[in-house]
Amino acid sequence: MKLFIILITVVLAKGLSADFAPSPAPAGNDSLVNPTLVTVDEGAVCLAGNPAAYYYSKGFGRGSKNWIVYLRGGGWCSGFADCLAYIDRKGVNKDPTPITFDYIFSNQKEKNPDFFNWNKVIVRYCDASSFTSNSTDKIGNTTLYFRGARIFRAITEELLCLGMGNARNALLAGSSAGGVATAIYCDRFRGLLPSASRVKCLSDGGYFFLAKNHKSGNQFLSFFEGLTKIQGSKNALPESCTARLSAELCFFPQNFWADIETPIFFLMLAFDEIEV
Ligand SMILES: *[C@@H]1O[C@H](CO)[C@@H](O)[C@H](O)[C@H]1NC(C)=O
Ligand SMILES: *[C@@H]1O[C@H](CO)[C@@H](O)[C@H](O)[C@H]1NC(C)=O
Ligand SMILES: *[C@@H]1O[C@H](CO)[C@@H](O)[C@H](O)[C@H]1NC(C)=O
């Protein structure tokens, strides 16, 4: 069964460096979770070459075989100078700091009745490619590491070692650029968990679509074209799409959602403003 609901009427696109990362969680008695640096593949690195990371909170009780994996957003970069600027703007070269697990990541039953006892993972976003990139670029002494696809592969491999392979229920979720990644990887995530009885995906604020805006025309198309070229994204995009269309077009969920076999829920605000 495919669960598919879209609520879209208008997107007011102001620019492309969308960042819908959840606002800092208020300090309460939710747990502060330390980052885990990826070690299974030392080539799975952020744009500036530092190790990728994720945050893991172990499930307990009846939730111990349930998993939620959340892909954070943070826009993208397209072109060498833009990616260099992205590193500074987002601080993706810095060491990851502990974060508070709140809302659907809270471990308190009253606040989070559905997921409080699940295994919960929040993946750091530091590749600026929705986890699709797989190349390297160098100008002068500066190297940019485009390793998003390797990061996704390495982190899921580590999670399988932590017990995700025995998951009964699993949810892949993500927002914005992480919502695009969720759509791109939904079926492959399903494929990692053949013995799970239920696997679903939630793409939140990730249904960027091919349309002109009133100010600057179709920015997304040329932006995704630059992105997929410099970052070597093509091979990570759904093959059902790249067999028919160019890589940049396969960055738009509208061009491949119909091929997704795993139940996926798209959530998009009726009015979505994207900041530069
Ligand atoms: C935890 O939160 C509850 C209610 O939100 C509050 O009553 C309690 O004092 C808090 N405990 C600690 C240790 O902060
Ligand atoms: C680049 O690296 C070389 C050799 O390590 C060094 O001699 C040169 O000064 C560096 N150039 C810049 C612009 O940092
Ligand atoms: C990245 O590309 C290389 C070939 O250049 C390939 O061997 C490798 O499997 C790719 N990695 C991922 C995660 O797609």
Distance 171 CA to ligand 2 centre (A): 47
Supply the pTM of this predicted model.
Answer: 0.85
Say how many CA atoms lie within 13 Å of 5 toward its Cβ: 7
As a whole number of angstroms, the distance between CA 256 and CA 211 comes to 16
Query: Which residue among 138, 139, 141 is best mutated to probe the pocket of ligand 2, counting the most ligand atoms within 8 A of its Cβ?
Result: 141
| Maximal CA-CA distance, the chain | 55
Percentage of residues in the chain with pLDDT exceeding 70? 86
Q: Rounded to the nearest 10 degrees, how much is the dihedral formed by the CA atoms of 70, 76, 80, 85?
A: -90
Nearest CA to ligand 1 atom 10: 29
Q: Which atom of ligand 1 is nearest to the CA of 28?
A: 14
- Our answer on whether the CB atom of 141 is closer than 6 Å to any ligand 2 atom is yes
- Greater confidence, 270 or 52? 52
Q: Given this model, what pLDDT does residue 86 score?
A: 98
Residue 11 — pLDDT band, cuts 50, 70, 90? Answer: very low
29 lines ligand 1 (CB under 6 A): yes
pLDDT-derived band at 270 (thresholds 50, 70, 90) equals confident
Percentage, residues of the chain above pLDDT 90: 80
Burial group, residue 108, by CB count within 10 angstroms (0-12, 13-18, 19+)? middle
Rounded CA separation 181/63 (Å): 25
Ligand nearest to the CA of 133: 3
Higher model confidence: residue 81 or residue 19?
A: 81
Report yes or no: 274 and 16 within 8 Å, Cβ to Cβ: yes
Nearest CA to ligand 1 atom 3: 29
Quick one: pLDDT at residue 196? 93
- Is 21's pLDDT higher than 50? no
Q: How many whole angstroms from 136 Cα to the centroid of ligand 2?
A: 19
Cα of 134 to ligand 3 centre, how many Å? 6
Residue closest by Cα to atom 2 of ligand 3? 134
- The tens digit of pLDDT for each residue in 45-57 reads 999 999 999 999 9
The overall average pLDDT reported for the chain is 89
Residue nearest to atom 7 of ligand 1 (CA): 29
Residue pLDDT, tens place only, 73-82: 999 999 999 9
pLDDT band at 12 (very low <50, low <70, confident <90, very high): very low
- State the distance from the centre of ligand 1 to the C-alpha of 59, rounded, in angstroms: 21
Q: Which atom of ligand 1 is nearest to the CA of 110?
A: 5
- With a 6 Å cutoff on the Cβ, whether 140 touches ligand 2 is yes
Please tell me the least confidently modeled range out of 4-18, 22-36, 49-63, 118-132: 4-18
The confidence score (pLDDT) of residue 43 equals 97
Q: Given this model, what pLDDT does residue 218 score?
A: 77
Say how many Å lie between the CA of residue 70 and the centre of ligand 3: 23
Tens digit of each residue's pLDDT (9 = 90 or more) over 173-188? 999 999 999 999 999 9
What integer pLDDT is reported at residue 99 of this predicted model? 95
Point out the ligand 3 atom lying closest to the alpha carbon of residue 152.
Answer: 13
Question: Which ligand sits closest to the CA of 102?
Answer: 1
Q: Is 183 left (phi over 0), alpha (psi -120 to 50) or beta?
A: alpha
The Cα–Cα gap between 229 and 249 comes to 12
For residue 108, what are the contacts with CB-CB under 8 A and spacing of at least 6? 29, 30, 116
Look at residue 240 in the predicted model and tell me its pLDDT: 96
For a mutational test of ligand 3's pocket, the pick from 40, 42, 134, i.e. the residue with the most ligand atoms closer than 8 A to its C-beta, is 134
The DSSP annotation for the chain comes to --------SEEEE--S----PPPPPPPSSSPEE-EEE--S-TT-B-TTSPBPEEEEE---GGGTTEEEEEE-------SHHHHHHHHHHHTTTSPP--EE--GGG---TTT-TTTTTSEEEEE---SSSTT---EEEEETTEEEEE-HHHHHHHHHHHHHHTTGGG-SEEEEEEETHHHHHHHHHHHHHHHH-TT-SEEEEEEES----S--BTTTB-HHHHHHHHHHHHHT-GGGS-HHHHTTS-GGGGGSGGGTGGG--S-EEEE--SEEEE--
Per-residue pLDDT band for 24 (boundaries 50, 70, 90) equals: very low
Other beta carbons within 10 Å of 23? 6
Q: Are 77 and 145 in contact (CB under 8 A)?
A: no
